[in-house]
A and B are shown apart, each in its own frame.
Chain A
């Protein structure tokens, strides 16, 4: 796959590219020539733009309107979760709450019912954490070692396995779901958190391996050779040279996996039991349960709670997130 390095590069130019140097830098002629030009042509550089030109109004206007549309669902969720049910029944979903109440949040976290359990979303939250932490660690360890072996220690057939792995990323999960159920059942892990961790590790492998392979391949080859000459072996080079040099890519991989696994629904619902359902599955069960009176404010509080983890990661990680998804573009 030659796709990803190209993508990564593209996103890197994007990170530190023209946006940071500002609009004038790229248009400024070389300093020697500019002195001469200035005399010949008069003032150099672009004609200053008016702040309120028609073009600017059009661009900023469109972007602001689109951004408002994108923010609307988040806004509606937040205001709904802060209202009491009577206010929701009477009022307008876009109106800010007249009387702010945090009761729906408390209820969503600690009292909302799914089936017989009435201990709220907190159960799903902790299940998700128990799934997330080992899955992220395990998948990153395995994929980074794979990537390292593929980049620096190629053996006969390694590229073939890698190609299969990448092609496998395009196979719909539905095709592989049931064989995995059988395999997990055979080893007694079907319905357990361990089983789900293995599934996440398997399906995270193609994209992460690709990510690490490309990164390790860009580490200067001389470094690797020098370490070999000094007698360092496979593991010594991995732990003492590759890992310390590649921390940014580990962070990218972590962002990718944390958001991906937290947001998973399909694997959670198939490979775990109701007691161990991750947060997304439990959220869906709470909101879409057919019994009882619908409490929209509680539902929205629960929805925001579930989205909070990936959103926090997104807003903290900023450009690294963009890099991660650009690299993950091949995953689909």
Chain B
């Protein structure tokens, strides 16, 4: 990529610099400026409006002693762990099935990916209806004669997060499948032939040869799923609104509620800073592995 024409005089590139102003402003003012601003103000006791009264870590103390936040974190951990494992597993298995030189591949792929085009609000509302205990799956099974059948995740605080997980997986696995399929298509046909000649069973070829070769795709998929997990918000708002009670709260919703509903800006800033910290913990090692040393 030898794209650069080296500028000898600064004004020779003036147009490019002018054209890049929106990008520069976005990068410096919004992304860096906004982030630093939020982190700094998370140490203040801002309520309705931001104030420069610094109170040290008081907001973080309050945050970590708030049961709503603790539940949010716990939910995020459960949702995150299951969503990561199942997205990768289902995505890979579906991609491997589609990769068997089958007929109607395009049709299958179109069906498996269409939920991804829908918003989380639509997804959440559709599953809210299917999981409705009075009319949905539970009632249908009971009508079949199994009277004591109970499956009402959205109304049971113990398992509500799994109800959200069902909807989240339905929406998101198609994308992972597509990524995996692209990865599988990138694998040399000769690898399969060689494995076949050596008499290695298919599942072993997948696990010990193909998956290690798809490392890059897997890492991309994991980063993708992980950053999606941290942002999960609309889905919860649509499906449960955080309920029953506060049993399906998530961090992104905690931030929104603190900032715009309970006029508790400091809490919102502290919570969003924690979210940022989580992302940093995930992204930095990945960036280091991917670009470590290569970055100019």
Q: Taking beta carbons and an 8 Å cutoff, which residues of A are in contact with B? A: 1-3, 6-7, 10-11, 13-14, 17-19, 23, 26, 59-60, 62-63, 66-67, 69-74, 76-77, 80, 88-89, 92-94, 142, 145-146, 148-156, 158-159, 161-165, 167-168, 170-180, 182-183, 201-202, 205, 209, 217, 221, 228, 233-235, 259, 262-266, 270, 280, 283-284, 287-288, 296, 299-300, 303, 306-307, 310-311, 313-315, 318, 321-322, 325-326, 329-330, 332
Q: Which residue of A lies closest to B193 (CB)?
A: A27
A66 to B2, CA, bound (A): 46
Instruction: Say whether chain B's binding surface is mostly helix, strand, loop, or mixed.
Output: helix
A300 to B126, CA, bound (A): 7
Are B140's CB and A70's CB within 8 A?
no
Quote the shortest CB–CB distance from A207 to chain B (angstroms).
12
Q: Which residue of A lies closest to B272 (CB)?
A: A174
Are B108's CB and A63's CB within 8 A?
yes
Are A173's CB and B231's CB within 8 A?
yes
Contact of B189 among A26, A80, A296 (CB under 8 A): A26
* B122 at interface, CB cutoff 8 A: yes
Q: Taking beta carbons and an 8 Å cutoff, which residues of B are in contact with A? A: 1-5, 7, 13, 15-17, 19-20, 22-24, 26-35, 37-39, 50, 94, 97-98, 100-102, 105-106, 108-123, 125-130, 132, 135-137, 139-140, 143, 170, 174-175, 178-179, 181-183, 185-186, 189, 216-217, 220, 223-224, 226-228, 230-231, 233-234, 237-238, 241, 251-252, 255-256, 259-260, 265, 268-269, 271-273, 275-276, 279, 283, 290-291, 294-296
Are A171's CB and B276's CB within 8 A?
yes
A177 to B156, CA, bound (A): 32
Are A175's CB and B13's CB within 8 A?
no
A177 to B269, CA, bound (A): 10
Quote the shortest CB–CB distance from A317 to chain B (angstroms).
9
Contacts of B120 in A (CB 8 A): 263, 265
Contacts of A74 in B (CB 8 A): 114, 126
Q: A174-B255, A280-B121, A332-B228 known; 11 other A-B pairs, CB under 8 Å?
A: A2-B290, A93-B130, A165-B27, A174-B256, A174-B275, A178-B269, A288-B241, A311-B114, A311-B117, A321-B113, A325-B178
Contacts of A17 in B (CB 8 A): 185
Quote the shortest CB–CB distance from B219 to chain A (angstroms).
9
Contacts of A19 in B (CB 8 A): 101, 105-106, 185
A264 to B121, CA, bound (A): 9
Closest 7 CB pairs of A and B: A263-B119, A332-B227, A168-B31, A153-B16, A234-B15, A179-B34, A314-B117
Are B112's CB and A164's CB within 8 A?
no
Are A93's CB and B135's CB within 8 A?
yes
Contacts of B259 in A (CB 8 A): 177-178
A318 to B269, CA, bound (A): 41
Contact of B170 among A73, A234, A235 (CB under 8 A): A73
Selected A-B contacts with CB under 8 Å, 12 pairs: A14-B185, A18-B101, A67-B111, A73-B130, A88-B135, A150-B20, A161-B23, A172-B279, A179-B38, A265-B234, A287-B128, A330-B220
A89 to B189, CA, bound (A): 55
Are A172's CB and B252's CB within 8 A?
yes
Q: Which residue of A lies closest to B140 (CB)?
A: A92
Quote the shortest CB–CB distance from A202 to chain B (angstroms).
5
Are B108's CB and A164's CB within 8 A?
no
Contacts of B27 in A (CB 8 A): 161-162, 164-165, 168
Given contacts A325-B178, A326-B178, contact A70 B119 (CB under 8 A): no
Are A153's CB and B31's CB within 8 A?
no
